[in-house]
């Protein structure tokens, strides 16, 4: 079987698995031949992809991590906000995964937009459970973690849907409202004495960052429990790989880049490293593009070679083990950033409509760095999407902002620069502009004092060098749209 984006689904293909709606009812049964009508219905339900059976993928078996009934029970109880039943499902998830030892996380969850919070909660619970096992936690701790994961976003159900699923930029007030959801989740649990304090605390703190820049309390990594640090990684990973009304989903390898880029800032490096050993970056059954120009599907991930799976070419069905030394010259190419060819005209038009507000303006990004190579790398990464202005010193940046009425929408600021450093330049720019331009620091300095200085200035964010392109783009997007990935 293999994974096919709904845009690539064609009449005559055979569905490999049952598909359910948010009520747990079967929409189309496994083994069924797709028709144009069925494909249209699946689109309307908001399914991003399906698993199909065909000759070339016949021997590729992809297993669900937990039984579909358990997944549906989890989604139903999260939707109904039934805390006791949710805790019971968490125990069943642990009971179904723990005896298996290492499980395969190859199967993507197929879901529609509307079910996001419920399906997300179950996914994060499954990921947290698997990571808890990988981290050799005790059974009791894995249960705490899985329970916290199922409960972490309950508070979102008390936020109006118009804000929760709003396409485009959130207003300051809406963003502030969104940020109350961990406290709202905690409030729903705090008087339930069957729920452990560890669970309640993890739910309350699941948006805390490793560098202290998260919320609600701004705790540093060493002040957070392991439950908080694990839950944070699993939460963000699942959010990144999900398609939402305002964004496409990242593929697992792109989400992995993001997690690596945010190590030490958002996440605990140790937890991320363990996570990336357990999650297949190229899941079985997905299609990839190879550097030899061929398209292929992933047949299997051999142990320890997350980046070098065995693939099968689509043209002649030849299996290539990319972890074999003889094939080291072949690599998997990153997905096109311009994914337009992946979308049907209709779905692309719908997507454009949804994000119109964000895309209508071509934002101006100012990059300030004394190293020419750093400037040019950032220009390469950003110039297809933004108007980029490059400046070589803090003083130049201050002068530019003072003299130009056309100001940048965001500034990427280096810290260590001769004469005027990035912190001082930012202070002066904030005075001139009345703090109206968000500043994202990009620096190799990662000590706690520097990060605190950045925050004191009111930095919109902080990125440590060396950074990942995916991460820097996501951070700019987050700041410009006031929308977090989770």
Which range of residues in 113-121, 150-158, 371-379, 387-395 is near Fe ion by CB under 5 A?
150-158
Which range of residues in 78-86, 151-159, 357-365, 454-462 is near Fe ion by CB under 5 A?
151-159
The distance of closest approach from Cβ of residue 354 to Fe ion in the complex, given in angstroms and rounded to an integer, is 22
- Nearest Cα neighbor of 183 from 206, 162, 165, 164 is 206
- Is the separation of the CB atoms in 135 and 146 below 8 Å? no
Which range of residues in 84-92, 152-160, 247-255, 374-382 is near Fe ion by CB under 5 A?
152-160
The distance of closest approach from Cβ of residue 178 to Fe ion in the complex, given in angstroms and rounded to an integer, is 9
* Residues 6 or more apart whose Cβ sits within 8 Å of residue 168: 246, 354, 355, 356, 357, 358, 481
- Is the separation of the CB atoms in 370 and 391 below 8 Å? no
Which range of residues in 6-14, 153-161, 328-336, 355-363 is near Fe ion by CB under 5 A?
153-161
The distance of closest approach from Cβ of residue 397 to Fe ion in the complex, given in angstroms and rounded to an integer, is 35
- Six token digits for residue 56: 């070339």
Neighbours of 485 (CB within 10 A): 21
Upstream peptide bond of 228 is cis (omega within 30 degrees of 0)? no
Nearer CB in complex with Fe ion: 153/453: 153
Nearer CB in complex with Fe ion: 48/486: 486
Binding mask 231-270 for Fe ion (x = CB under 5 A): ----------------------------------------
The distance of closest approach from Cβ of residue 166 to Fe ion in the complex, given in angstroms and rounded to an integer, is 16
The distance of closest approach from Cβ of residue 234 to Fe ion in the complex, given in angstroms and rounded to an integer, is 11
Task: Count residues near Fe ion (CB under 5 A).
Answer: 2
Nearer CB in complex with Fe ion: 214/285: 214
Which range of residues in 238-246, 335-343, 394-402, 478-486 is near Fe ion by CB under 5 A?
478-486
Neighbours of 2 (CB within 10 A): 23
Which range of residues in 86-94, 145-153, 223-231, 319-327 is near Fe ion by CB under 5 A?
145-153
Nearer CB in complex with Fe ion: 153/254: 153
Q: Hey, which residues between 167 and 196 contact Fe ion (CB under 5 A)?
A: none
Nearer CB in complex with Fe ion: 153/370: 153
| Total residues belonging to the chain | 486
Nearer CB in complex with Fe ion: 201/331: 201
- Is the separation of the CB atoms in 410 and 440 below 8 Å? yes
CA atoms of 470 and 374, how far apart (whole Å): 16
287-289 and 49-53 strand pairing: unpaired
Nearer CB in complex with Fe ion: 43/181: 181
The distance of closest approach from Cβ of residue 150 to Fe ion in the complex, given in angstroms and rounded to an integer, is 13
Nearer CB in complex with Fe ion: 52/236: 236
Neighbours of 382 (CB within 10 A): 19
Query: Is the CA virtual torsion 223, 224, 225, 229 positive or negative?
Result: negative
Write the burial class of residue 193 (CB in 10 Å: 0-12 exposed, 13-18 middle, 19+ buried).
Answer: exposed
Binding mask 97-136 for Fe ion (x = CB under 5 A): ----------------------------------------
The distance of closest approach from Cβ of residue 181 to Fe ion in the complex, given in angstroms and rounded to an integer, is 6
The distance of closest approach from Cβ of residue 195 to Fe ion in the complex, given in angstroms and rounded to an integer, is 17
Nearer CB in complex with Fe ion: 34/178: 178
Beta strands (DSSP E) in 178-260 are none
* Residues 6 or more apart whose Cβ sits within 8 Å of residue 131: 230, 233, 234, 271, 274, 275, 278
CA atoms of 116 and 110, how far apart (whole Å): 11
| Bridge partners, 365 (sequence order) | 388, 410
Nearer CB in complex with Fe ion: 425/486: 486
CA atoms of 230 and 146, how far apart (whole Å): 10
- Nearest Cα neighbor of 65 from 259, 298, 238 is 238
The distance of closest approach from Cβ of residue 276 to Fe ion in the complex, given in angstroms and rounded to an integer, is 21
The distance of closest approach from Cβ of residue 486 to Fe ion in the complex, given in angstroms and rounded to an integer, is 5
Contacts with Fe ion, residue ranges (CB under 5 A): 153, 486
């Amino acid at each position: 079987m293999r994974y096919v984006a709904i845009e690539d689904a064609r009449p005559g293909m055979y569905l490999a698995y049952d598909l359910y709606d948010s009520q747990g009812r079967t929409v189309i049964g496994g083994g069924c031949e797709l028709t144009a009508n069925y494909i249209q219905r699946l689109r309307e339900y908001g399914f991003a992809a399906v698993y199909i059976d065909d000759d070339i993928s016949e021997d590729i078996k992809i297993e669900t991590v937990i039984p579909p009934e358990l997944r549906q029970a989890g989604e139903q109880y999260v939707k109904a906000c039934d805390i006791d039943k949710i805790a019971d499902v968490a125990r069943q998830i642990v009971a179904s995964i723990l005896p298996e030892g290492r499980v395969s996380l190859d199967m993507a969850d197929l879901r529609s937009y509307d079910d996001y919070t419920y399906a997300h909660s179950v996914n994060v619970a499954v990921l947290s459970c698997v990571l808890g096992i990988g981290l050799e936690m005790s059974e009791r701790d894995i249960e705490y973690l899985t329970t916290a994961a199922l409960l972490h976003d309950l508070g979102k159900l008390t936020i109006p849907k118009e804000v929760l699923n709003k396409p485009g930029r959130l207003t300051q007030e809406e963003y502030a409202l969104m940020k109350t959801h961990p406290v709202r989740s905690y409030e729903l649990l705090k008087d339930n004495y069957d729920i452990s304090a560890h669970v309640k605390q993890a739910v309350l703190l699941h948006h805390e960052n490793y560098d202290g820049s998260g919320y609600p309390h701004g705790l540093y990594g060493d002040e957070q429990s392991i439950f908080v640090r694990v839950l944070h990684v699993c939460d963000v990973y699942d959010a990144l790989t999900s398609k939402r009304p305002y964004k496409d989903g990242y593929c697992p390898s792109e989400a992995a880049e993001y997690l690596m880029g945010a190590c030490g800032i958002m996440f605990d490096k140790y937890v991320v490293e363990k996570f990336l050993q357990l999650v297949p970056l190229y899941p079985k059954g997905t299609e990839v593009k190879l550097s030899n120009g061929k398209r292929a599907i992933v047949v299997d991930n051999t142990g320890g070679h997350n980046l070098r799976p065995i693939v099968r070419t689509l043209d002649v069905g030849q299996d290539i083990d990319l972890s074999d030394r003889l094939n080291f010259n072949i690599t998997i190419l990153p997905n096109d950033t311009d994914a337009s060819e992946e979308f049907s005209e209709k779905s692309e038009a719908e997507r454009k409509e949804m994000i119109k507000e964000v895309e209508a303006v071509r934002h101006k990004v100012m990059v300030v760095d004394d190293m020419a190579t750093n400037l040019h790398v950032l220009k390469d990464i950003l110039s297809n999407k933004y108007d980029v202005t490059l400046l070589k010193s803090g003083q130049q940046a201050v002068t530019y902002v003072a003299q130009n009425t056309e100001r940048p929408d965001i500034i990427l600021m280096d810290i260590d620069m001769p004469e005027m450093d990035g912190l001082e330049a930012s202070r002066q720019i904030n005075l001139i502009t009345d703090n109206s331009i968000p500043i994202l620091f990009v620096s190799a300095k990662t000590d706690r004092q520097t990060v605190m200085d950045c925050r004191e200035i009111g930095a919109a964010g902080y990125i440590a060098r060396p950074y990942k392109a995916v991460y820097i783009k996501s951070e700019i997007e987050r700041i410009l749209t006031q929308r977090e990935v989770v």
